[in-house]
Amino acid sequence: MPIFAYDNLFQLRSSGSSLLMQVTPAGRLVHLYYGHSLPEGDYTLADFPPTPSQPSISPNSPEPDGIDSVGTALSEYPTFGLGDFRPSAIQAVGEDGTRVLDLRYHCHKIYPGKPRIPGLPATYAADDEAETLEIELMDDPTGLIVTLVYTVFENHPVITRSVKAFNGGQKPIKLLRIDSLALDLPENRYDLVHLWGCWAMERTPERTPLIHGGMKISSTRGASSHTHNPFVALVDHEATEEYGEAMGFAFVYSGSFQIQTEVDFAGQVRLLMGLNPDNFSWTLNPGEQFNTPEGVMVYSDQGLGGMSRAFHKLFSHNLIRGPWRDKDRPILVNNWEATYFNFNEEKLLSIGRSAAELGIEMLVMDDGWFGKRDDDHSSLGDWFVDHHKLPEGLKSLSDKLHEMGLKMGIWFEPEMISPDSDLYRAHPDWALHIPGRPNSPSRWQYVLDMSRQDVQDYLFERMSDILSSAKIEYVKWDFNRNFSEVGSALLPPDRQGEVEHRYMLGLYSLLERILTAFPELLLEGCAGGGGRFDAGMLYYAPQIWTSDDTDAIERLTIQQGTSYCYPPSTMSAHVSACPNHQTGRVTPFKTRGIVAMGGSFGYELDLTKLSDEEKEEVKRQVALYHELAPVIRNGDYYRLENSPTLAAWETVSADGTEVVASAVVPMARIVNTHFVRLRGLEEEASYRDMDSGKVYSGGMLMHAGINLTPYRLRDRDGVMIRLKKVE
């Protein structure tokens, strides 16, 4: 089994990683080790790693405890107020008004499988796939019981973490901060990798050496955000894509978050991950429990690429769920960039007829089909069909599309409300707001208070009526503005700090209700593009609109950045029109297809305006993607290069017999020689190029590489090379 407990020692062993911790004589839980897997029973670190000397002005432990000071000890879940001046994982206010917590070991239990976290998305595992350790810590003066929950996956280099806080005392306790994951490391030899960006430029990788003092990656926007993603990695200074140590941390949550690092005077590193404390508090009355979202830890000794592939496998098989987890997604065309708000039934049907002729499988009707929605100034919340655009309603449109052999999808933005809407006129209190303060509109819309059960019930009723009125197989669930003036009319003043997290619990509850009522529905997440691309949403939506920027050259960085944590199959990627609507760039149709085939493939343009040559290219792309989809969904993904002159990536099928390598030249040079060295092949095996028929050894492909010069790639040209293992 992967979890071992001997006296006061705990060893957790996943497939490829180990975590060791120990209870001190005084009952403190200290961290010993996290990294490459250690042999079972290897407790040579159990005498404690040496702690740095403390200046005399720092408090010492009040009792003999085997550690010089809590201020320098490696803590498994650090608290506030006892002399550890580094950031704490938890802060709470008890009856005496102070924030001091002294959590001491009380008991533990080990059991097979993995528990669900009530009301929250999380990874899952069968009893024979994982084992769970719960360690209960207690603060005697307040009666606060904090349970650290660790699940170890036997077949992945993964340990997940979450926390339960239970008020076992007689008086209310107010939580001000409660992180899901804390990790102390004894020395600083790491760079921090994170994904930054903005609207239409999401998830750009940035690598920075950890510095003395603190670094923070966070969102206070009510969403995981375009600006920062709830993922970071700590990597050796010398680590590359395929070599060296990389530790990845992902937060399974879609709201405001914080990931914090601190390097102390001795070079020790602390990493914390959890809910953003800036607008958070939670009152725990006696007998009540609070559950944190889940944090996921991945260890790799095969660089960033090995870390990414571990995340991909875990999320593909132990986070995404439902019938679409193991099925290829339909190739769709979305009408947004084709028509924006200016469409009617006949325009949609004309696009549908072209789609059917070209082999596309689904038409998705985007924003503008409801209320009086001729622009983005009104009608959010009024989820009733606009009979001026669709005079015969949704069923007529759906029936006609299905007669053509097409599936139908539809766009919703359930969490928003327009001030110019019948819903807002009837229920202005349903919007997040603070009495006495004006609401700040963004995109002419406010945010519905999803913490309210009546709001959730209204949305479930309206969405259920729409989805039941016609045959609709797909929903694009959008979210186009961030939070401001966060307040709920139903909570008292002293509990307004709970609104943001209650909002997320309400959103997750509604998503669960919709998917339970419509279990075959394919849900695609969206938030102004990729503003909520996180593991929390993947629990409900197996694919997410990666970015509103559909430019193929821009998507090279966006999609490779996203792949640091998230599987390619989760990235919705579409061929769009040129000149591109966001950048004005003109890119060959073939290149647009190659880039879009790096994810869940589709089209975002007016198919009726394509030339005969472009229509033939669409037919070729559709047929090709049907062949590639199983490889992309289940294969091992490798980032080969991403520079101003060359972007290249590769997928190797799960059984190692098929290889898809793609390359795009964003900017050609006069001397334009490139060799693309593949990865993940067998040295002695032979691989046949399915276009040229040439046969190469795996060693040649990985060490000498494929010479791209004969392809004569100019600006924005691309090539896809398919190889098959010769048996």
**Residues assigned a catalytic role:** 478, 548
Please spell the DSSP secondary structure of 506-549, one letter per residue. HHHHHHHHHHHHSTTPEEEE-BTTBTT-SHHHHTT-SEEE--S-
> Which of 204, 198, 180 shows the shortest CA–CA distance to 121?
180
Tokens of 273: 């991950």
- Are the C-beta atoms of 167 and 287 separated by less than 8 Å? yes
Token pair 């994904």: residue: 195
- Are the C-beta atoms of 72 and 54 separated by less than 8 Å? yes
- Are the C-beta atoms of 385 and 462 separated by less than 8 Å? no
| Residues 444, 525, 568, 561, CA torsion sign | positive
> Which of 83, 89, 102 shows the shortest CA–CA distance to 141?
102
67, with CB counted inside 10 A (0-12, 13-18, 19+), is buried
As a whole number of angstroms, the distance between CA 203 and CA 196 comes to 5
CA 339 to chain centre: 30
Amino acid at site 574: H
- Are the C-beta atoms of 4 and 133 separated by less than 8 Å? no
Give the residues across from 289 on adjacent strands. Answer: 166
- The helix/strand/coil state of 608 is helix
- Other CB atoms within 10 A of residue 126 CB: 10
Give the residues across from 351 on adjacent strands. Answer: none
| Residues 236, 656, 638, 230, CA torsion sign | negative
Residues in the chain: 727
Give the residues across from 294 on adjacent strands. Answer: 252
> Which of 136, 192, 163 shows the shortest CA–CA distance to 275?
163
CA atoms within 13 Å, Cβ hemisphere of 487: 15
Element (H, E) at 252: strand 246-252
Helices (H), 597-668: 612-634
Tokens of 206: 């940035």
As a whole number of angstroms, the distance between CA 638 and CA 241 comes to 8
255, with CB counted inside 10 A (0-12, 13-18, 19+), is buried
Which residues make Cβ contacts (< 8 Å) with residue 703, sequence separation at least 6? 677
Would you state the torsion angle of the CA atoms of residues 562, 567, 570, 576, taken in this order, to the nearest 10 degrees? 50
Tokens of 360: 């596309």
Token pair 């679409």: residue: 324
The CA angle 331-557-709, to the nearest 5 degrees, is: 90
Give the residues across from 698 on adjacent strands. Answer: none
Burial letters for 387-408: b for 16+ Cβ neighbours within 10 Å, e otherwise? eebbeeebeebbebbeeeebbb
